Amino acid sequence: MEILKAIILGAVQGLTEFLPVSSSGHLVILGEILGRELGGEGSTAQSVLLHLGSWLAILIVFRKDILKLVWPRFDVRSFGLLFLASLPAAIVGLTIKKLLPGAQESWIETNVLQSPWVACFGLMFTAAVLWLAERKRELFVTFENARGKQFWLVGIVGVAQMVALLPGVSRSGSTICMALMLHWVKSDAVKLSFLMGLIAIGGAGLIEAKEISHIEPAPAAAGFVASLVFSLIGLAGIKLVVEKEKLKWFGVYTAIAGVAALGYFMVFPPN
C-alpha cells in the first residue's frame, strides 16, 4: 500500500509541478485525504525525492538551454535574470528554514505551508491568475533582449514565485503568467519559469536532503520514478498549453478543485 501511495503522489507531483495547478496544493490535499500528512519526518523525505524527480526532468528537457548558459561562453545576462528572479523566494524560504526559531518555523509549517485550508484558497487564487494571463497583449521580451526596465522587472516574476511558496498557488502558473503580463514571449516565459524552478527545487532539496535517511527504499524509489516520468509528461504539456493559449481551462480546473476540496474539509475536517 505504501508503494501504491508513493506512485500516486509521484504522479501527482510530476503532473502538477509543471501543469499550472499547484503540486504543493495537490500534495497537501491528497496527502490529507490519503491519511498521510506530508509534514512529518518520513513524509518530508518522500517529498524531497518526489521533487528530485521533477528537478531531473527539467535538466533533461532543458539540457540544451542549460548548456548554452555556460558554453561556449558564460551568459552573464541570463544568469543575472535568473538570479534576480530567484532571489525573493530564496530569501523567504531560507528565513523560514534557517533563521526563525524552531517553534515559529513549526507553526508556519503546520498552519500555512502544510495547511489544507490554505491549499484550497490557494487553488482559487491560481484560477484567477490563469484567467488574467489570457488577456491579449504584445509579447516581445526574451532572454536576449531584456534590457533596462524589462531586465529589472523580472524581479516581479520572482515575487510571483515567492507567493507560490503557499500551497495551492501554482509556481509554474504564477511565474509564467507574470512573465506573460510583463510581455515576455511565450517560449521564453516557459524557459524562464522552469530554469527558475531548477534553482528553487534544487535549493529546497538541498535544505531538506538530510531527511532522505528517514524513508523506506521501496516507496522512495517508486515515488521518484513516477515523479520523473510524469514530470516529463507535464513539461511537454505546459509548453503546448501556453502556445495554444489554454491556461484559462486550467483556471477552471483549479477553481473547481479548490471549491470541492474546501467542501470536503468542511464535512471531514483535517486532523
* Tens-digit pLDDT profile for residues 5-28: 889 889 988 888 889 999 889 889
Q: Determine the angle formed by the axes of helices 247-267 and 116-132, rounding to 10 degrees.
A: 160
Contacts of 65 (CB under 8 A, 6+ apart): 191, 195
Report whether pLDDT(38) > 60: no
Report whether pLDDT(36) > 80: no
pLDDT level of residue 218 (50, 70, 90 thresholds)? confident
For residue 111, give the DSSP letter. I
Report whether pLDDT(42) > 50: no
DSSP state string for 168-186? TS-HHHHHHHHHHHTTB-H
The domains of the chain are located at 2-267
Q: Supply the pTM of this predicted model.
A: 0.86
Give the pLDDT score at 107: 83
Query: Mean pLDDT, to the nearest integer, of 257-263?
Result: 97
Give the pLDDT score at 210: 63
Structure confidence by residue, pLDDT tens digits, 61-75: 999 989 988 888 888
Residue found by looking up cell 509556481 in the block = 171
Report whether pLDDT(165) > 70: yes
Give the pLDDT score at 211: 58
Cα dist from 84 to 26, 49, 88, 145, 192, whole Å: 28, 27, 8, 16, 11
Q: Are 139 and 185 in contact (CB under 8 A)?
A: yes
Least confident of 55-64, 132-141, 167-176, 235-244: 132-141
Q: In this predicted model, which residue has the larger pLDDT, 244 or 42? A: 244
Q: In this predicted model, which residue has the larger pLDDT, 123 or 133? A: 123
